[in-house]
Amino acid sequence: MGVVNTLDLEQIGALDPTDWQPVQQMGHLMLDEMLEFMQTHSERPAWVKPPAAAVAAFDAPVPMQGADLEDLYEQFKEHILPYALGNAHPRFWSWVNGCGTASGMLVEMLTAAMNTNAFGAEQIAIYVEQQVLAWFKELLGFPFSASGILVSGGSMANLVGLTVARNAMAGFDVKELGMAAAPQELVCYATAQTHYSVRKALELLGMGSKSLRLIPVDANFQMDIAELQNAIHEDRGAGRKPICVVGTAGTVNTGAVDPLDRIADVCTEEELWFHCDGAFGAMPALSPRLKSMTTGMERADSLAFDLHKWLHVTYDVGCTLIRDPLAHHMTFATSGSYLTHMPGGVAAGPFWFSEHGLQLSRQFRALKVWFLMKEYGVEKLAASIEMNVEQAQYLEARVRRESELELLAEVPMNVVCFRYLFDKDADNLNRELLVRLHDSGIAGPSFAFLNGKFGFRVAITNHRSRKSDFDMLVDGVLKFGREIAAENS
Ligand SMILES: *Cc1c(COP(=O)(O)O)cnc(C)c1O
């Protein structure tokens, strides 16, 4: 340190530009080019494998000296921008992804400009988050008295909900004593169609994956309620303590909705916590035409859903709503003297999100949600959801018409599963077909195993898709299917 005097260090250590003009110019260029990029998704392949040169670019030494922003932006355009997952593309339907919006990109900039830490305290971010939570309580049928929090996504939303469920239902002080003090084994119920983040949450919560009972499903992949009741009684008989049933609104594999109303009835009768995972499948509740799909969801004790999937808010953001605000606060509030609230000043504030989730420092995620809701309005967002449901029906009808294709499941919402009918070795040849389809860049469906059969899974949470895109998918599947069938005959 001796060689650098304090004045020099204050020049060297300052990170703001000395001249803002070039940064401003770069900013304008980036803005124009990225808006252009967003308008031209359909002109590019649905997916491009990152080439060796791009991958090699990320095997560089630690940069000890700085570089020009302009150079870095060029590297970004060459090695990064073209090789994203593909979920912004009109023919990408893998897993469940949202595709973002033009204004969503701009709002990310506003959020970054503010760069506020939305953990709590007296600041406007808290009021914005309370506002969007209030809107979703109303839209999804929760009382205004419920509490909630924006989180990174559905996985975290499930973890938050299940943590509150465990602490509220355990019958002993889990926070103080830990799971080792459990007098009885705690058990939860879901189905094999339930998203794996539920299992992961129970593992993290110290309950072990063996605490999760997988209740059989019926032919439509919905939880069998009689089996649920049997399992609860069996566990009680064996001295275990049932605490929670997880019902899914929109399963990942087929978009099935568990009989949520009946799960709620069972939870009332048996005094269990009802957690609902509605990562994408809660969203049809925004549409008066589709609302009945999720009946019973509004009776959940905790509800997890994503905003970056079917509402297309920029990654990442999900939400948990908790009916009992005290149970929510009790679970996550931990005393820390430097986080004590003050009667006034910046350390006051009406609601501390850090006391309602795992994170202390948090991005101001509410801003992008607020913008999206206000910009489009619920009616337009609902229309976009209705459009995808209709497209799923369109694709289903096309698959049913094609004698070379086999539909693998009913289409209750926005997920279509099908495969090519090969004479032999159908699982492997359909796998091969899927890889060819991805490599061709034509379309990006994912896959599912249903009743032991491997098939393509088209999960439609994409506001850019048009019916012609689904025809291109089916045409591609037929082309590669015939090609592979000929090679293997
Ligand atoms: C996507 C999904 C999740 C996980 O949400 P993330 O936002 O990816 O963490 C959980 N449950 C269901 C049903 C999902 O579709």
Average pLDDT over residues 127-136: 98
pLDDT reading at 2 higher than 80: no
Ligand 1: centre distance to CA 279 (Å): 5
pLDDT digits over 474-483, tens only? Answer: 999 999 999 9
pLDDT digits over 438-487, tens only? Answer: 999 999 999 999 999 999 999 999 999 999 999 999 999 999 999 999 99
Average pLDDT over residues 402-411: 98
Residue nearest to atom 5 of ligand 1 (CA): 154
Confidence class of residue 427 from pLDDT cuts 50, 70 and 90? very high
The answer for 454, left when phi > 0, alpha when psi is -120 to 50, beta otherwise, is beta
* Cβ 153 under 6 angstroms from ligand 1: yes
Residue nearest to atom 6 of ligand 1 (CA): 154
pLDDT reading at 129 higher than 90: yes
* Cβ 252 under 6 angstroms from ligand 1: yes
Confidence class of residue 7 from pLDDT cuts 50, 70 and 90? confident
Which of 86, 25, 84, 78 is closest to 446 using CA atoms?
86
pLDDT digits over 308-321, tens only? Answer: 999 999 999 999 99
Q: How far is CA 459 from the centre of its chain?
A: 13
* Cβ 167 under 6 angstroms from ligand 1: no
pLDDT of residue 10: 87
Distance CA 96, CA 278 (A): 12
Distance CA 4, CA 484 (A): 69
Average pLDDT over residues 344-367: 95
Average pLDDT over residues 341-351: 91
pLDDT of residue 41: 96
Determine what percent of the chain is predicted with pLDDT higher than 90: 95
Residue nearest to atom 14 of ligand 1 (CA): 279
* Cβ 275 under 6 angstroms from ligand 1: no
What value does the mean pLDDT of the chain take?
96
pLDDT of residue 336: 65
Confidence class of residue 340 from pLDDT cuts 50, 70 and 90? confident
Average pLDDT over residues 130-150: 98
pLDDT of residue 6: 67
* Cβ 193 under 6 angstroms from ligand 1: no
CA dihedral 251, 255, 259, 264 (to 10 degrees): 50
| Ligand 1 atom nearest residue 155's Cα | 9
- DSSP annotation of 284 reads G
In order of 33, 129, 152, 319, 353, the CA distances from 107 in angstroms are: 16, 15, 17, 19, 21
Ligand 1 pocket test: which of 85, 158, 197 has the largest number of ligand atoms within 8 Å of its C-beta?
197
Its pTM surpasses 0.95: yes
Distance CA 241, CA 187 (A): 6
pLDDT reading at 219 higher than 70: yes
| Angle, helix 366-401 to helix 467-487, in steps of 10 degrees | 50
Confidence class of residue 30 from pLDDT cuts 50, 70 and 90? very high
Ligand 1: centre distance to CA 485 (Å): 35
* Cβ 305 under 6 angstroms from ligand 1: no
* Residue corresponding to tokens 């005097």: 5
Residue nearest to atom 3 of ligand 1 (CA): 154
Confidence class of residue 11 from pLDDT cuts 50, 70 and 90? confident
| Ligand 1 atom nearest residue 194's Cα | 13
Q: Please, are residues 209 and 269 in contact by the beta-carbon 8 Å criterion?
A: no
